[in-house]
Amino acid sequence: MKVILKQDIKGVGKKDQIINAADGYARNFLFPKNLAVPADAGNMNNLQAKKDSNAFRKGEELKEAKEIAEKLKKITIKLTIKAGENGKLFGGVTSKEIAEALKKDFNIEIDKKKVMLKETIKVAGVTKVDIKLYEGVVASVNVQIIPN
């Protein structure tokens, strides 16, 4: 019997996958526990509509990420940080500070986890920082640190 899984089941399949299940397994286990539905015409149409909706949503998110990437290429973030005589900063610039500066100065909201900074920036000058906006979309932004 063909069924559409409603959630991931270990050893059986993933959510929204169509599988062949034994009649007894489907009727006595999957259906009563609401883990699957029969793969009839109505449920197949619902599944296809859900897949189309997800594909459209992902396309919109990708388009939006590319637009933000284009904006970020032209941006230089300027941060003023206390520094010693030799240009070494007290503390450092973290991904959180970069994300906050983007929001405050340019009204672009980026999650701090998407700022790909290996370690805090501890020297004055201009540094290129990558920001992962979406799967396969990475933008570079210049961060200029001005010693105070």
Q: How many CA atoms lie within 13 A of 101 on its CB side?
A: 20
138 pLDDT band (50/70/90 cuts)?
very high
Q: Which of 119, 118, 110 is nearest to 137 (CA)?
A: 110
Decide the pairing of beta strands 2-5 and 18-20: antiparallel
Share of residues in the chain with pLDDT > 90 (%): 82
Q: What is the pLDDT of residue 89?
A: 82
* Mean pLDDT across 91-119: 92
CB 75 within 8 A of CB 141: yes
Q: What is the pLDDT of residue 106?
A: 92
Mean pLDDT, the chain, whole residue set? 92
pTM of structure: 0.71
User: Over 80: is that where the pLDDT of 1 sits?
Assistant: yes
Question: Same CATH topology for 2-64 and 65-147?
Answer: no
Q: What is the pLDDT of residue 114?
A: 94
CATH class (in words) of the domain with range 2-64: alpha beta
* Mean pLDDT across 34-62: 96
The domain limits of the chain are: 2-64, 65-147
CATH of region 65-147 = 3.10.430.100
